[in-house]
Amino acid sequence: MTTATPRTLDHLLEEILDNQDWAITPRDARDGWATAIDRHVVRPQQFAAAGEDIADGETDAAPAIQAAIEYVEALGGGTVYLPVGEYLIESSLTVLGEHITIEGAGPGATRIVAGLGIAGTMFAHNMLNVRASNFLARGIWWIADPTGNQNRSGRCINFRPVDSALEWLTVENCRVDQASAAGIRTEGLSFNCTQVRIVNCTSHGCAVPFAFDYRVEEGLIANNIAKSAGGYGISLDRLTTSGSRQIVVANNIIEMASHGVRGISILGAQNVVVEGNIINSLGSGPAEGIRTASLVSGAIIGNRFLGAFTTALHVIGTQRSVFTGNIISGQTNGLNTDSNTINCLVQGNHFFGVTNPITGTLAASNRVRNNFGLTTEAKGTATIGASATSVTFNHGLSVTPSIQDIHLSWATDPLPIIAGMPWVSAITATQITVSVPTQPGGDGWTFGWQVQVL
């Protein structure tokens, strides 16, 4: 590693006055004044060898960037500022001290590119490893594989608590591309990551652009764009017996590659809000828009599903959650649930051109009401013929009603006609059968029926 003392004002003034060929641009001068005035703001160029251009995209910039990180760590915190340019790194960068900011001139201006030296297995080689609290990354384009083949760095930015919990972790206004595992990921295996924010970022071609894995509390993934996601667009994955809680995933745009799996995947989390996201399948491959598995106290609100997902909402073992205001169009299955999903409300969703608006097993403790394109209420009349003891009629519902959802009514006392009371003797996905004790004779017996699945 190259070590250096940051420039003083005298050194900087001498450089600018001797700027005969304008090698120092006005922007360089501005950045230089800032880093010279505040010793807690440094540039990697101050730690490079004399005459070395570490922003040319060819020179290994990792030693200088790491030296800058360690310099501000020794001060108790500070900012490593990367001016405009492309910074090739042949080894991973690591942050071990608190109160560190790594900032660029904007994701279109400052790029950090993984070189062949960083290539390896998807779980072993990250561009940036963060092991300390109070961290901010901003204004940088992180490129895990410039060839576009996801063959180099596993993750662009990886947060992993080692000895204690990490808190106040933020990535904003960054771009992360071509990571074989995840663009930005928390890895709270032994300890939690708390107060984690991924906001206003863009991803292209990552297997999973944004991931809260293991245990994250009080997290926000918002206002991001994930393009050509190859696995999951956004993942909240428990991976252990203890999952994340108090998470908001909001206002993201997710475009799934044809070989993608699902737009948003939630496993084993509690108190999660997923709201206002647009999830688009770019091909026929992605199976699911959103999957919730073992989710407790979740709110899936106002999301828009586009493209040819097999299932828009796949709900497994979910409890005490609300699914409302979602717009689902063109999918084979709207909402697919199982018998372990209980005490949930499915209300006010829009199903347009969906083959099966609701499919799977819908437990009696769930409530389904007022969904456009999903018929959960119907009524009519039926007549049991003079010589018959039952009648079967179509109920017209999009879901299979339970016995408690069916109400029969009549205008006059049925006892003289059928010698007893009628009952519902059979229910199928499309029909209801009502039986009576004896043949009514005469003109038969007519009754009213109403079905309302709440």
Question: pLDDT tens across 170-184, in order?
Answer: 999 999 999 988 999
Would you say residue 18 has pLDDT above 70? Answer: no
The residue extents of the domains of the chain are 88-369, 377-452
Q: For the range 397-402, what are the long-range contacts, defined as Cβ-Cβ under 8 Å and sequence gap of 24 or more? A: 397/451, 397/453, 398/357, 398/358, 398/373, 398/374, 399/358, 399/362, 399/368, 399/374, 399/453, 400/362, 400/427, 400/428, 400/429, 401/427, 401/432, 401/451, 401/453, 402/364, 402/427, 402/453
Would you say residue 8 has pLDDT above 60? Answer: no
pLDDT at 146: 86
Would you say residue 36 has pLDDT above 50? Answer: no
**Per-residue DSSP letters for 375-386?**
--EEEEEEEE-T
Distance CA 12, CA 8 (A): 6
Burial class (CB in 10 A: 0-12, 13-18, 19+), 37: exposed
Per-residue pLDDT band at 241 (split at 50, 70, 90): low
**CB count in 10 Å sphere of residue 314:** 23
Per-residue pLDDT band at 345 (split at 50, 70, 90): very high
Please, are residues 185 and 211 in contact by the beta-carbon 8 Å criterion?
A: yes
Q: Name the CATH architecture for the domain at 88-369.
A: 3 Solenoid (2.160)
| Helix count and strand count (H, E) for the chain | 4, 40
pLDDT at 31: 56
Distance CA 210, CA 198 (A): 8
Minimal CA–CA distance to 118: which of 65, 53, 70?
65
Structure tokens at 217: 């509390």
- Per cent of the chain over pLDDT 90 is 62
Distance CA 351, CA 373 (A): 5
**CB count in 10 Å sphere of residue 357:** 25
Question: pTM for the complete prediction?
Answer: 0.82
CA distances from 112 to 43, 52, 99, 127, 129 (A): 14, 17, 21, 9, 14
Question: pLDDT tens across 210-226, in order?
Answer: 999 888 999 999 999 99
* Summary mean pLDDT of the chain: 87
pLDDT at 429: 84
Structure tokens at 437: 């004790």
Question: pLDDT tens across 387-416, in order?
Answer: 999 999 999 887 788 898 999 999 888 888
